[in-house]
Structure 1
């Protein structure tokens, strides 16, 4: 008898199959003596679309809102049916005794596998693999300690509750806004309050009025002394004080000495790594997560990426030397530490109580093959290694001397610092001894007047937005990158250099929806309740009932709203089919002109797209255009046209296209189509 193992992606299935000796490769699975290892492609299942419940729900009208299915149901995603059918066939084999869920060890991974097993009606025992790294050692250990799947039923309930909430809030409010204002206006349980954070910061910047102020400094060869309390002065007062003190001598009246210690920072959690990568390298949160996934899955050199903890469990203590040895060829400092079997000095990192599903990001016991890393992968790996090595290094220490200098009746403060122990910072120590002064010492210097300007709040970067989302409980480490990308892709927010900015469309959206949906307070409460469901402290039904009630109220408010809306993307061009104006729509493949009439499906490209398809007459590249009967190729050289359907008719997915699909799935650990994203995408593209 054999065990059916369901992984989340082909690359993970390959790693599992290698360890489990399932070395017979088939199109949809690996098979061995004891195990059959198959995989999903992100999600294979999704929540049903509105029209799958009732035909009349297909029409976008207020008459059908709110959409409230009695029970949420799932259906297969069309693009991945073949893989789902293969899993279904495997599940029915008589030699399969049980299944092991080996999808990502988290809420979304649980949903991926459970929906598949429910769809294929798998009625044999199910166990759960829960590991935090993809090394052979971790996999073997994980399979030696499998747990019953029922131990994770609460996690599955939380995942279903999250999917249901996003469907109800997202689809209903988006459809209500779109119908009301005749434009594609996407709203959501998490994305709208996230957009609200950016808008709130922009409002603070717009309201800010800079003010000029002045300070006095006493400049010495030992450093600049600032007025005690560093007060902000008017020009008149600063000039008068400078004139009063300019001939006075500075006398040391008080001395304060202290030693400052700073411990090495804890390992990264996902959010902090995304923040640092954005600040240092301008990587988006999505890019950092993708790079991290490669290091985790393909190279197996880091632990589970989607962690919200910076601490390690105590059982990892006896693995730290092995991990240090593994990176010793990569990092010279690690080699020195490994040679002398250096212990972990930052013992505060071991705290079982502060580790949830996964511990902090650290290197695995697998030796890195750095020559295989891309430039960007190496940058992310270096950040993780740097934090890990810091755990073996002593505290950073510096000696601080603070002198109070009296000039007549005014006190200035001079701070002098000297590094005494470089510790984890590994900075160079200054060999020169700093001059120390005694009380009563007269110090030479010069008064300077400094003109300064109050600074406006800084616009949010992706790094500071991530920090704010974490602080306000918006999303999880696993979903925040996807949320930011979704807001940008729907035209509500844009990247401007290192910062993010709300678009005019986004600002209007925030005025059209209920304030409770633009504030993080309610959404953060919902996220907390999802965690409570996962912990078995709250029922899924109670949460969903609350979301259904909120959905009714939000839709009703949009219906009754008298707010004005201006469509900034509406053009003067007219639809040839119905006469309505065309709207510009930004897509991955360029700008489309889409009919603004909700019941018309006409669209065309704004600009001709040069393709690799060659003209059969002159062999030059043809452009792709859209007419009343669909897409067609046109040669700008000889004006010959050719229907796209004539070329693509009955064409099956090529091996190259299949490889590209797998490559995309393996490179991006976000679900291929999340339940809400799939529904919204399909619905919005028809608008």
Structure 2
């Protein structure tokens, strides 16, 4: 009798591949409650039937142009540094869809090796990358390159608190459902490579034909940022001041006196498009008609209002506050808060979201206890009496959390004595914003008045604090409501006398103050970052402006697809563009009042702004690409169709550049911002001074296409490294 032999199926072994070590360790912590942990290393944690590993960023990079030049131009000659010399003959660089090559990042060999080893045992892989496009691609490209042949599931980690992780593990999806998100990320990476590699080479070679030296770096975000700085400089240089008048009446009512500003009515003569009074004759007429006359209180509103606490910090907002309040450069703020994250004192910093998962509300008592303990015997601890963790502010909203939530303190108690001055300042700010979520609203009395005298309107408003609420902890913030007039002047008085509707009001005098319009200010770290986030303010194309506005609004409401962010650049990269433009000699820092530092274009930067096609200097391509990426994710177009569009764009723009005369004065002497301040005086290598970024090789990085190769020194000798470090870790022999 024949016996059927049934083989025992292979026991399930799940491999979770995370993007960040913190996420991987949080997943492992919950998995270990099911079956205990049995092994651990610097790259993974393992249980009996599971393992978790992490990648800590992209493990692969796009191959450099030399890879494609070698295959397309077998007779091309290499220079002394072993790389092919730049030549118009090699342009355009347009790899076919099946020719794109990725290579392992040098310092990720151990992590890739860990995935390879664990993949041999896995029966199921769980993709646990960030829930944005890059997070999808980051893990997918590793699995694809290593030839993963087992089913791949997808989980969507948004936070690493216990409840959030439990929910994530219970919600496995099919990773194939996210293939189009991966394609959108591939499209973004390849398109940025095409722009950086093709245009940087073409512009550099064209400039050399006009007698310029050095290398020119072109990028989808970097070059429009130069465009912003150059346009602002030209606006300042072409500015012509305008004299205008501000009229303020002294108003007397039964209970006292107050000042009220004249507001012109529609169609009033002598007024410019900004509502400013230009004609002194009109001022004289108003004075004649109202001085000493009795009118009435035409409108009177006395309201009690509540102002909710500001949300926790996103990286952009924290960087802007640190720039204004402490004068910290953007990159230094990121470095400090990254250090606080590494010390497990705050949550992940590179976020463009200010909201928090609802599940984290359960952690609030533990976090508040940790902050109380860390700040014991300090001014902050004395102000925590009103903190009530049963309150749930608008910050706790799952629908508004994107790939990463707002920056908040963790339940770890800080040793403040071990923190540097700037670390403590930022940690203090982060804690206060978090604690404010559990404090009462700021309550104030708002009085608004309109006085009608002889047919002329005068307005005033007053604001009086009734209960400080969260402001007792945070003080005055950027979110404090202030009424301003057409010239930006503050219209509030601390108090207004009591009055009533239709009460008589007498004008006891009219002050006529002569003012001059002022040119716009150059960009600082703070305002340049604000401009990149709110780029719609600087866009004229209606469709593009509408797209950027929509992206910004979605980022505020926090729909899941807004993990992609808004504006130009990302929270992780926006701080790099100003210093990068300085390094390549297109922008410099100039001193202002009170030690302020402002970005101004160099002669070469202005010349480049003037010479290049407008399409490269404006941010429109980011919007066009974003719309295309959304269509890729929706299945309306394919990756191949987008790359065909890019090929047409590259060819057309290269042809346009070849017709230009690009003369860039003094280019070839790149400068670097002070390594200490990011905004101090610089010494160029030509003057024998030291530079925080090292002497420059000048050539754009062939790995990322964004940085430039800078000469650096180590104990092993000199080498060239990308100025975009640590985002890009490309090096080359000196």
The interval holding the TM-score normalised by the smaller chain is: 0.7 to 0.9
CA distance in 2, matches of 1:334, 1:97: 54
CA distance in 2, matches of 1:243, 1:269: 53
Does the alignment pair 1:555 with 2:654? yes
What is the Cα deviation at residue 189 of structure 1?
A: 1.8
What is the Cα deviation at residue 390 of structure 1?
A: 4.1
Correspondent of 1:114 among 140, 165, 168: 140
Structure 1 pair 23/369, CA: closer, same or farther in 2 (3 Å)? farther
CA distance in 1, matches of 2:573, 2:630: 14
Structure 1 pair 126/333, CA: closer, same or farther in 2 (3 Å)? farther
Correspondent of 2:629 among 530, 533, 537: 530
- Judge which range, 6-15 or 59-68, deviates more: 6-15
* Contact map agreement 1:398 1:421 (CA 8 A) in 2: no
Correspondent of 1:450 among 496, 501, 513: 513
CA distance in 1, matches of 2:525, 2:687: 26
Instruction: Report what 2:571 is aligned to.
Output: 477
Structure 1 pair 403/268, CA: closer, same or farther in 2 (3 Å)? same
Correspondent of 1:591 among 695, 698, 706: 695
CA distance in 1, matches of 2:520, 2:495: 40
What is the Cα deviation at residue 67 of structure 1?
A: 0.6
What is the Cα deviation at residue 525 of structure 1?
A: 1.7
Does the alignment pair 1:277 with 2:322? yes
Instruction: Report what 2:584 is aligned to.
Output: 490
> 1:103-150 CA deviation, whole Å, 9 max, x = no partner?
444333333322222222232333444323344665455444444433
RMSD value, Cα? 4.4
CA distance in 2, matches of 1:86, 1:498: 46
What is the Cα deviation at residue 199 of structure 1?
A: 2.0
Correspondent of 2:259 among 198, 206, 224: 224
CA distance in 2, matches of 1:317, 1:671: 37
CA distance in 1, matches of 2:647, 2:338: 35
* Contact map agreement 1:47 1:72 (CA 8 A) in 2: no
What is the Cα deviation at residue 589 of structure 1?
A: 4.9
* Contact map agreement 2:24 2:53 (CA 8 A) in 1: yes
* Contact map agreement 2:163 2:359 (CA 8 A) in 1: no
How many residues are paired up? Answer: 600
- TM-score using structure 1 length: 0.73
Q: How does 1:290-369 map to 2 (within 5 A)?
A: 290-299=335-344, 301-302=346-347, 304-312=348-356, 327=371, 329=373, 332=381, 335-337=384-386, 342-344=390-392, 346-347=393-394, 349=395, 353-363=399-409, 366-369=411-414
* Contact map agreement 1:223 1:416 (CA 8 A) in 2: no
* Contact map agreement 1:161 1:540 (CA 8 A) in 2: yes
CA distance in 2, matches of 1:443, 1:270: 51
Does the alignment pair 1:541 with 2:635? no
Does the alignment pair 1:435 with 2:481? no
Instruction: Report what 2:463 is aligned to.
Output: 417
What is the Cα deviation at residue 405 of structure 1?
A: 6.4
> 1:264-302 CA deviation, whole Å, 9 max, x = no partner?
234444433333333323333333334444444541533
- Segments of 5+ residues of structure 2 without an aligned counterpart are 1-10, 77-83, 209-213, 265-274, 477-493, 536-566, 591-595, 671-684, 701-708
SS at match of 2:695: strand
Q: How does 1:197-212 map to 2 (within 5 A)?
A: 197-212=228-243
Structure 1 pair 612/391, CA: closer, same or farther in 2 (3 Å)? closer
What is the Cα deviation at residue 166 of structure 1?
A: 0.7
SS at match of 2:136: helix
Instruction: Report what 1:635 is aligned to.
Output: none
Instruction: Report what 1:514 is aligned to.
Output: 613
* Contact map agreement 2:130 2:158 (CA 8 A) in 1: no
Structure 1 pair 548/673, CA: closer, same or farther in 2 (3 Å)? farther
CA distance in 2, matches of 1:251, 1:502: 54
CA distance in 2, matches of 1:453, 1:184: 43
> 1:584-623 CA deviation, whole Å, 9 max, x = no partner?
9996454358899xxxxxxx999xx9x999xxxxxxxxxx
SS at match of 1:189: coil
Structure 1 pair 342/42, CA: closer, same or farther in 2 (3 Å)? closer
Structure 1 pair 584/535, CA: closer, same or farther in 2 (3 Å)? farther
CA distance in 2, matches of 1:255, 1:367: 54
Q: How does 1:83-232 map to 2 (within 5 A)?
A: 83=110, 86-87=113-114, 89-91=116-118, 93=120, 95-135=121-161, 138-139=164-165, 141-182=167-208, 183-219=214-250, 222-229=257-264, 232=277
What is the Cα deviation at residue 185 of structure 1?
A: 0.6
Structure 1 pair 605/103, CA: closer, same or farther in 2 (3 Å)? closer
- TM-score using structure 2 length: 0.69
Does the alignment pair 1:460 with 2:523? yes
- Segments of 5+ residues of structure 1 without an aligned counterpart are 572-581, 597-603, 614-643, 650-660
* Contact map agreement 1:397 1:423 (CA 8 A) in 2: no
What is the Cα deviation at residue 508 of structure 1?
A: 2.4
* Contact map agreement 1:48 1:74 (CA 8 A) in 2: yes
Instruction: Report what 2:449 is aligned to.
Output: 402
SS at match of 2:512: strand
SS at match of 2:333: helix
> 1:557-597 CA deviation, whole Å, 9 max, x = no partner?
112223444344469xxxxxxxxxx989996454358899x
CA distance in 2, matches of 1:141, 1:290: 31
* Contact map agreement 1:325 1:334 (CA 8 A) in 2: no
* Contact map agreement 2:283 2:512 (CA 8 A) in 1: yes
* Contact map agreement 2:203 2:662 (CA 8 A) in 1: no
What is the Cα deviation at residue 357 of structure 1?
A: 3.6
Instruction: Report what 1:258 is aligned to.
Output: 302
What is the Cα deviation at residue 514 of structure 1?
A: 2.0
Correspondent of 1:46 among 53, 61, 72: 61
What is the Cα deviation at residue 69 of structure 1?
A: 0.9
Structure 1 pair 380/236, CA: closer, same or farther in 2 (3 Å)? same
CA distance in 1, matches of 2:710, 2:171: 55
* Contact map agreement 2:23 2:157 (CA 8 A) in 1: no
What is the Cα deviation at residue 186 of structure 1?
A: 0.7
Instruction: Report what 2:704 is aligned to.
Output: none
- Judge which range, 101-110 or 11-20, deviates more: 11-20
CA distance in 2, matches of 1:433, 1:178: 62
CA distance in 2, matches of 1:228, 1:595: 57
What is the Cα deviation at residue 518 of structure 1?
A: 1.3
* Contact map agreement 1:253 1:440 (CA 8 A) in 2: yes
